[in-house]
C-alpha cells in the first residue's frame, strides 16, 4: 500500500492536531451524526489512554470517538480524494458526515477510503472516527473481554505491554488523479558492480508507464519503459548496514496524449538478503545482528509516534553501536522504517501476533491453562485475521531495504498441538507474498528442541530466553550451562542460523549491589556478559538483540513495577550501567562477529 505523498500530481494535507474526543458511554448512540458533545480534546497522533487523568478513560474497553472538521482544498475539483489512517488501534470505523466510508480491523497497519463522492472541493466536512481497543480470541493480537455483573467491561490480554489504543499515528487527506499509480514493488539484485532493479507498477485503469531512477544526489542513472521491467544501475552504490544509500524510482503514468497524468516516487536501496547454511548474508556478506527488541512506548503519548523520540532513539542506537532492531511486537510507524532505510539500520519486521500462547500467560494473567489452539481459543478465524495482517504488513513494508526478515509471531505456543496446522499455511503465505526475505518467529522458553513443532518451517531460529532471570534467578553459573546446552542443541538439530531475539533482566535504575542481585544495574550487566560469553563460543550464531531497548509500560501486575524494567535505557532514555558495556562490545563487533576457533 502506497504511503501518501505530495508530488506534481498529488496533494497531501496532514490532519494531525487536537480532535474532539469521547468514550462511547459519554455520547449518543450515533455520534457521527452531529458535533460530538464533549469537553475533551485528544492529541493525534497519541494513544488516548495516558492523556487524561481519568481511569475510566484509561481503562475503557470498547469504542471511543474522535472528530474534527476538515476542509477539502478548493483546487481539488476533479481529483479523487482520500482519507488515510496510518493506524487505528485496534479497529477503526470512519464516517464522513453521516456516511460510513471505511472499516478496518488490525491496529498497526494503515487503511484508507476514497471519499470523492462524499465531499466537495473547497467545502468542509465532519470527519468522525470510532476506534475500538477490544481484543478477543479472533483478533491479532488476541485477548479476552469480560463483562462484570455491574455491566463494566474489563479486558485481559496475553502480551506484556500496555494495550495502548486510539489514533497513535498520523491521519491524512490526499488527492490523486483517477488514473494513477496504485502500487509498486521493487526487488533488487547485484550483478558484479551493477544493481539489477526489477519493478512492477500497478495502475488504476490501463495506462502507459515509464520510470526513471535517480541517485541520492538527484542525478538520473537509469530509465525504463512499461509497467514492469528490469533496469540496471551501473557502478551501483549498495544499501549496506550502517550506510543506507537510497535511490528514487520516479514513476510516471501517461495519458492517451502522452502527457504525465500521475507521478509517484518510491525510494529503494539495492541490496540482497540470503540465508546460506548457518549464515545470514546481506549483499553476500555474513551479517551479525546487534541491537534490541524495541517498543513504541513513551510517557504520555503511549504508542503515539513522535519524531523527536524517533531521532533520539536512533541516536542512541548509533551511540551504543547497535546495527539492528526487531519491531517487537507489531509493525511500527512507517516513519520509523523510512528512517532506518536512510540511516542503514537493519530491521526485523514483526507482525502483531503476540500472545498466541495461553501457557505463558497462565501465570501472568490468571487465564488458563487452556490449549492455545482450539475452537474456543486461537482458531481458524484467528488464523484468517493473522493471514490478513501478514498481507497488510508485506503490502506496506515490502519496499524497505532496511527490512531484511519477517517475524510472523512472537512466542506462539509452538510446542502445543495445533501449532503446525496453524502456522504452516501462514509461512507459505508469507513466502508467496515475498519470496525475497527470510521468515522467522521468536521462540518461547517452553518451545524446546525436542518439543517445538514448527522450527523446520522457518529460515532463521530466533530464540527468546531468560536463563538467569525467570529461571535460575540470580544464579548465572547454572544459567550459563543451561543456555549453552540449549543453543548447541538447536544448532545441531537444524543447521540453520540462530540468533538470540530476546535476553534481558529487569533492572531498577539506581539499584546497586556487589552481589549477583537481580534488579541491580550490576546484575543486568553481568547477565548480558554471561550471554555474550556463550554466544562467542558458538558457531552458526548470527545475532543478539537484547530485551529491551528501553523500559516500557505494561498492564498492572505483581510482576511489574510501573511497567517492564528490562530496558538498557530507562523510559526517558537514560542509560543504565549495562549500556556502557554493550557499547564497548557492539562498537567492536560492527556487523561481523569474529569467527569461533
Ligand atoms: C518475553 C516477551 C516480551 C516480554 C519479555 C519479558 O518473552 O516476548 O514481550 O516483555 O519476555 O520481559 O518477560
User: Does 547 sit in the ligand 1 pocket, CB within 6 Å?
Assistant: yes
pLDDT at 113 over 70: yes
Which tens digits make up the pLDDT trace of 149-186? 998 999 999 999 999 999 999 999 999 999 999 999 99
Distance 69 CA to ligand 1 centre (A): 41
Domain boundary among 140, 160, 176: 176
Q: Is the entire prediction scored with pTM above 0.85?
A: yes
C-alpha 235 – ligand 1 centre gap (Å) = 44
* 254 and 339 in a common domain: no
Q: C-alpha angle 569/575/580, rounded to 5°?
A: 120
Give the distance, in angstroms, between the CA of residue 58 and the centroid of all CA atoms in the same chain.
23
Q: Is any atom of ligand 1 closer than 6 Å to the C-beta of 564? A: yes
Which pLDDT band holds residue 27 (cuts at 50, 70, 90)? confident
pLDDT at 593: 79
The candidate with the shortest Cα–Cα distance to 197, out of 269, 284, 262, is 269
Active site annotation includes 381: no
Residue 22, domain member (yes or no) = yes
pLDDT tens track for 365-387: 555 578 999 999 999 999 999 99
At 309 the pLDDT is 98
Domain for residue 596, yes or no? no
Q: At 534, which CATH number?
A: 3.20.20.80
Is the C-beta atom of 551 inside 6 A of ligand 1? no
Nearest-atom number in ligand 1 for the CA of 470 is: 13
| Per-residue pLDDT, 361 | 60
Q: How far apart are CA 88 and CA 108, in angstroms?
A: 7
> Ligand 1: which of 464, 518, 551 to mutate, judged by most atoms within 8 Å of the beta carbon?
464
Give residue 577's pLDDT.
98
* Mutational pocket test of ligand 1: of 163, 296, 411, 568, the residue with most ligand atoms within 8 Å of the beta carbon: 411
User: Do 294 and 208 belong together in one domain?
Assistant: no
Determine which of 95-104, 349-358, 570-579, 588-597 has the lowest per-residue pLDDT on average: 588-597
Ligand 1 contact, 506 CB (< 6 A): no
Rounded Cα distance between 383 and 182, Å, is: 28
Block residue for cell numbers 526485523: 348
Pocket flag, ligand 1, residue 112 (CB < 6 Å): no
Verify that 221 and 232 share a domain, yes or no: yes
pLDDT in tens, 184-208: 999 999 999 999 999 999 999 889 9
Closest residue by CA, ligand 1 atom 10: 160
Q: Tell me, yes or no, whether 223 and 312 share the same domain.
A: no
In testing the pocket of ligand 1, which one of 161, 547, 548, 554 has its CB within 8 Å of the most ligand atoms? 547
CA of 293 to the centre of ligand 1 (A): 10
Looking at the structure, do residues 508 and 533 belong to the same domain, yes or no? yes
| Mean pLDDT value of segment 242-251 | 98
* Number of domains the chain is built from: 3
Domain assignment present for 169: yes
- Taking the CA of residue 564 as reference, the ligand 1 atom at the shortest distance is 12
Contact assessment for residue 464 and residue 444, using Cβ atoms and an 8 Å cutoff: yes
**299 and 405 fall within a common domain:** yes
| Closest of 62, 83, 71 to residue 130, by C-alpha | 62
Q: What is the chain's length?
A: 597
Helix, strand, coil content of the chain in percent (nearest 5)? 20, 35, 45
3-class SS of residue 418: coil
Same domain, 157 and 192: no
In terms of Cβ atoms closer than 10 Å to its own Cβ (0-12, 13-18, 19+), residue 327 is buried
Same domain assignment for residues 64 and 40:
yes
Q: Is residue 4 part of a domain?
A: no
pLDDT at 362 (0 to 100): 54
Report the DSSP beta bridge partners of residue 205. none
- CA terminus-to-terminus distance, the chain: 47
Q: Residues 532, 491: one domain? A: yes
Pocket test for ligand 1, best of 160, 162, 470, 473 (most atoms within 8 A of CB): 160
Determine which of 7-21, 269-283, 356-370, 575-589 has the lowest per-residue pLDDT on average.
356-370
Residue 61 has pLDDT above 90, yes or no: yes
What was the pLDDT predicted at 25?
A: 87
Residue 211 lies in a domain: yes
Q: Of ligand 1's atoms, which has the minimum distance to the CA of residue 464?
A: 7
CATH of the domain at 251: 2.60.40.10
Quote the ligand 1 centre to 163 CA distance (angstroms). 15
Beta-carbon count within 10 A of 75 CB = 11
Q: Is 109 in the pocket of ligand 1 (CB under 6 A)?
A: no
Q: Which atom of ligand 1 is found nearest the CA of 444? A: 7
Residue 442: is its pLDDT beyond 60? yes
pLDDT at 188: 98
Determine which helix (DSSP H) or strand (DSSP E) holds 373, and give its type and residue range: none
**Running DSSP on this structure, what letter comes out for residue 321?**
T
**What is the 477 CA–ligand 1 centroid distance (Å)?**
22
Range 533-544 average pLDDT: 94
Per-residue model confidence (pLDDT) at position 368: 53
User: Atom 2 of ligand 1 has which residue's CA nearest to it?
Assistant: 160
Task: Tell me if 594 is assigned to some domain.
Answer: no
- Look-up: residue for cell 469537553? 39
User: For residue 3, is it within any domain?
Assistant: no
> How remote is the CA of residue 93 from the centroid of ligand 1, in Å?
31
> Which residue owns the Cα nearest ligand 1 atom 13?
160
Q: Decide if 79 contacts 175 (C-beta within 8 A).
A: yes
For strands 17-23 and 63-71, give the pairing: antiparallel
- Strand partners for 230: 198
* Ligand 1 site, residue 49, Cβ cutoff 6 A: no
CATH code of the domain in which 77 resides: 2.60.120.260
The reply to whether 411 belongs to the active site is yes
Q: What is the mean pLDDT of the chain?
A: 96
169 with 281, same domain: the answer is no
Q: Tell me: the pLDDT tens digits for 302-343? A: 999 999 999 999 999 999 999 999 999 999 999 999 999 999
Query: Cis peptide leading into 417, omega within 30 of 0?
Result: no
Ligand 1 center from residue 345 Cα (angstroms): 23
Among 472, 568, 565, which Cα is nearest to 525's?
A: 568
Alpha-carbon dihedral angle through residues 313, 315, 318, 324, given to the nearest 10 degrees: 30
From ligand 1's centre to the CA of 501, what distance in Å? 10
Decide: 411 in ligand 1 pocket, CB within 6 A: yes
Nearest Cα neighbor of 187 from 408, 439, 427, 403 is 403
Q: How far is the CA of 491 from the centre of ligand 1 (A)?
A: 23
Which residue in the list 91, 112, 502, 521 is annotated as catalytic? 502
Tell whether 2 is covered by a domain.
Answer: no
> Does 20 share its domain with 54?
yes
Q: Of 153, 176, 199, which closes a domain?
A: 176
* Domain boundary, last residue among 109, 143, 176: 176
Catalytic residue among 411, 416, 484, 521: 411
Residue-range definition of the domain harbouring residue 207 = 181-271
Q: What is residue 366's predicted lDDT score, i.e. its pLDDT?
A: 56
Cell numbers 509517484: residue: 264
CA distance 338 to 272: 18
Atom of ligand 1 nearest to the CA of 504: 12
High-pLDDT (> 90) share of the chain, %: 95
Spell out the residues 6+ positions from residue 244 whose beta carbon is closer than 8 angstroms to its own. Answer: 269, 340, 341, 342, 343, 344, 345, 401, 402
Pocket lining: 407 vs ligand 1, CB cutoff 6 Å: no
Q: Indicate if 318 and 196 belong to the same structural domain.
A: no
- Give which of 446, 375, 457 is closest to 412, Cα–Cα: 446
Cα gap 284→288, rounded to integer Å:
13
Amino acid at each position: 500500500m502506497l504511503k501518501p505523498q505530495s508530488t506534481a500530481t498529488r496533494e497531501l494535507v496532514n490532519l494531525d492536531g487536537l480532535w474532539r474526543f469521547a468514550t462511547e458511554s459519554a455520547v449518543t448512540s450515533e455520534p457521527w451524526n452531529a458535533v460530538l458533545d464533549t469537553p475533551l480534546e485528544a492529541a493525534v497522533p497519541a494513544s488516548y489512554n495516558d492523556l487524561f487523568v481519568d481511569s475510566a478513560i484509561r481503562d475503557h474497553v470498547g469504542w471511543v470517538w474522535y472528530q474534527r472538521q476538515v476542509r477539502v482544498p478548493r483546487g481539488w475539483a476533479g481529483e479523487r480524494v482520500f482519507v488515510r489512517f496510518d493506524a487505528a488501534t485496534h479497529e477503526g470505523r470512519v464516517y464522513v458526515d453521516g456516511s460510513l466510508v471505511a472499516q478496518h480491523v488490525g491496529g498497526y497497519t494503515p487503511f484508507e477510503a476514497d471519499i470523492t463522492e462524499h465531499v466537495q472541493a473547497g467545502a468542509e466536512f465532519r470527519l468522525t472516527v470510532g476506534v475500538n481497543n477490544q481484543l478477543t480470541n479472533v483478533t491479532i493480537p488476541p485477548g479476552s473481554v469480560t463483562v462484570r455483573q455491574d455491566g463494566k467491561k474489563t479486558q485481559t490480554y496475553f502480551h506484556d505491554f500496555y494495550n495502548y489504543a486510539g489514533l497513535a499515528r498520523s491521519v491524512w487527506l490526499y488527492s490523486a488523479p483517477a488514473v494513477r499509480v496504485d502500487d509498486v514493488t521493487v526487488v533488487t539484485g547485484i550483478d558484479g558492480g551493477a544493481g539489477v532493479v526489477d519493478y512492477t507498477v500497478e495502475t488504476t485503469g490501463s495506462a502507459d508507464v515509464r520510470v526513471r531512477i535517480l541517485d541520492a544526489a538527484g542525478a538520473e542513472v537509469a530509465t525504463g519503459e512499461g509497467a514492469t521491467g528490469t533496469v540496471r544501475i551501473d557502478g551501483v552504490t549498495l544499501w549496506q548496514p550502517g550506510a543506507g544509500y537510497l535511490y528514487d524510482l520516479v514513476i510516471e503514468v501517461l495519458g492517451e496524449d502522452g502527457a504525465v497524468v500521475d507521478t509517484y516516487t518510491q525510494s529503494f536501496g539495492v541490496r540482497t538478503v540470503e540465508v546460506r547454511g548457518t549464515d545470514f548474508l546481506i549483499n553476500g556478506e555474513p551479517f551479525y545482528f546487534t541491537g534490541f527488541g524495541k517498543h513504541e512506548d513513551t510517557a504520555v503519548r503511549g504508542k503515539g509516534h513522535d519524531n523527536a523520540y524517533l531521532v533520539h532513539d536512533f541516536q542512541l542506537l548509533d551511540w551504543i553501536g547497535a546495527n539492528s532492531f526487531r519491531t517487537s511486537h507489531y509493525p511500527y510507524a512507517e516513519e520509523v522504517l523510512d528512517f532506518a532505510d536512510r540511516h542503514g539500520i537493519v530491521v526485523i519486521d514483526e507482525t502483531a501476533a503476540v500472545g498466541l500462547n495461553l501457557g505463558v500467560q497462565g501465570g501472568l494473567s490468571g487465564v488458563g491453562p487452556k490449549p492455545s489452539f482450539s475452537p474456543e481459543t486461537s482458531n481458524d478465524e484467528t488464523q484468517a485475521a493473522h493471514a490478513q495482517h501478514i498481507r497488510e504488513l508485506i503490502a506496506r513494508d515490502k519496499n524497505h531495504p532496511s527490512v531484511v526478515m519477517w517475524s510472523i509471531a512472537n512466542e506462539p505456543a509452538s510446542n502445543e498441538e495445533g501449532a503446525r496446522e496453524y502456522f504452516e499455511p501462514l509461512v507459505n503465505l508469507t513466502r508467496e507474498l515475498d519470496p525475497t526475505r527470510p521468515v522467522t518467529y521468536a521462540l518461547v522458553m517452553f518451545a524446546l528442541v525436542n518439543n517445538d513443532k514448527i522450527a523446520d518451517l522457518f529460515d532463521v531460529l530466533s530464540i527468546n530466553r531468560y536463563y538467569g532471570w525467570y529461571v535460575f534467578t540470580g544464579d548465572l553459573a547454572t544459567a550459563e550451562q543451561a543456555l549453552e546446552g540449549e543453543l548447541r542443541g538447536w544448532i545441531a538439530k537444524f543447521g540453520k542460523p540462530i540468533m538470540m531475539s530476546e535476553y534481558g533482566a529487569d533492572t531498577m535504575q539506581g539499584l546497586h549491589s556487589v552481589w549477583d542481585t537481580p534488579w541491580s544495574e550490576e546484575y543486568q550487566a553481568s547477565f548480558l556478559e554471561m550471554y555474550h560469553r556463550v554466544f562467542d563460543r558458538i558457531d552458526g550464531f548470527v545475532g543478539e538483540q537484547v530485551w529491551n531497548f528501553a523500559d516500557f509500560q505494561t498492564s498492572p501486575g505483581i510482576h511489574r513495577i510501573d511497567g517492564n524494567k528490562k530496558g538498557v535505557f530507562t523510559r526517558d532514555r537514560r542509560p543504565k550501567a549495562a549500556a556502557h558495556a554493550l557499547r564497548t562490545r557492539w562498537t567492536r563487533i560492527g556487523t561481523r562477529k569474529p569467527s569461533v576457533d
